[in-house]
A and B are shown apart, each in its own frame.
Chain A
Amino acid sequence: ETGVTQSPTHLIKTRGQQVTLRCSSQSGHNTVSWYQQALGQGPQFIFQYYREEENGRGNFPPRFSGLQFPNYSSELNVNALELDDSALYLCASSLPASEYTDTQYFGPGTRLTVL
Chain B
Amino acid sequence: AQSVTQLGSHVSVSEGALVLLRCNYSSSVPPYLFWYVQYPNQGLQLLLKYTSAATLVKGINGFEAEFKKSETSFHLTKPSAHMSDAAEYFCAAGDYGGSQGNLIFGKGTKLSVKP
Contacts and interface: CB of A to CB of B under 8 A. Distances in A.
Interface of B: 4, 34, 36, 41-46, 49, 90, 92, 96-108
Given A103-B34, A106-B36, A106-B45, A42 B90 contact: yes
Contacts, number: 82
B107 A105 contact: no
B49 A42 contact: no
Contacts of A104: 98-99, 103
Contacts of B96: 97-99, 101
How would you classify the secondary structure of chain A's contact residues: helix, strand, loop or mixed?
Answer: loop
A29 B90 CA distance: 23
B83 to A, nearest CB: 22
Contact of A56 (B43, B44, B101): B101
A108 to B, nearest CB: 4
A102 B4 CA distance: 21
A101 B102 contact: no
A95 interface: yes
Given A97-B97, A101-B97, A42 B105 contact: yes
